[in-house]
Homo-oligomer: A and B are copies of this chain.
Amino acid sequence: MCMQLNPKYKTIFKEALEISSLKPTKQREHIFSLILNKKDHPTADEIFTRSRETMPSISLATVYNCLETLVESGLIRQVNFERESTRYCPNLKPHAHFHCKKTGAICDVDLPVSIFNSLKKHLPKNFQPEQIDINFNGSIHKTKNH
């Protein structure tokens, strides 16, 4: 039983792939819906494991292929921390990532576009940024609820 995209995302999905004349295959849709439905930042291997629960025949190579396709189509983002496995993020709003070194937790940090604009102002005129990655590393303290 494959994951289903809701109609809104189904349209976004099809149109994004169509722009590059790529096909909306069931593997691509399955992986996209897995990432959309659980809004964490899974690795390719975690996505592979989750995929097999409902699509047991999918291969790891296909997971990698689909993820590459989804990233190139702008449907998801890649997130990298140091040399760890690449992670994938369905949040397309401007945001940064916070990586807790103690627990491994990864959190989205929403940022106003103004910060990205102000960062761009510090570049020489001939530098054309396509993407800006902002990663916080540190720790998340437990808040005491006594």
Residues of A within 8 A of B (CB): 78, 80, 82-83, 86, 96, 98, 101, 107, 109-112, 115, 118-119, 122-123, 126-143
Q: Is the interface of A mostly helix, strand, loop or mixed?
A: strand
Let me know if B141 and A126 touch, CB within 8 A.
Answer: yes
Q: Which of A82, A119, A142 has the largest number of chain B CB atoms within 10 A? A: A119
* Copies assembled: 2
Q: Which of B83, B86, B119, B138 contacts A134 (CB 8 A)?
A: B119
Q: For residue A110, which residues in chain B have a CB less than 8 angstroms away from its CB?
A: 122
Roughly how many angstroms separate A131 CA and B135 CA in the complex, as a whole number? 8
Let me know if A128 and B111 touch, CB within 8 A.
Answer: no
